[in-house]
Amino acid sequence: MVEKKTRGSIVCTTSVASVIAGTVVPHGYTASKHALVGLIRSAAGDLGKHGIRVNGGYKIKMEASELEEIFSEAANLKGIVLKARHVAEAALFLASDDSAYVSGHNLLVDGGFSVIKN
């Protein structure tokens, strides 16, 4: 994008482990996700002068039933259960011109899960 002088948006996928620590996943996994947020912020600072925005948000790689169980506590907070489309819509927002002034951000689409667990 820099070589071609193309403005745009890079959306990285992270995990809830990028903002909270826990004992459910290995420490190296949590550390790598925290590091990814640092990389997103550094890249945003470096690439911003080229008109390139860099943001993050997290991906879903679980079955719907697993998600429902994991996010049930958050669902009680917000009254909804996380669906893949919620994450997809957030990623589309970050990639679109609607977020033209957003860069270096890790968008949490978790219904408050990271707040409850933190």
Distances (CA, A) of 15 to 2, 22, 60, 64: 27, 12, 8, 16
Distances (CA, A) of 80 to 18, 19, 108: 23, 21, 15
Q: Is 29 a catalytic residue?
A: yes
Residue with tokens 């909804």: 80
User: d(Cα 69, Cα 110) in Å, to the nearest integer?
Assistant: 13
Q: Which of 2, 7, 22, 29 is catalytic?
A: 29
Q: Which residues are catalytically annotated?
A: 29
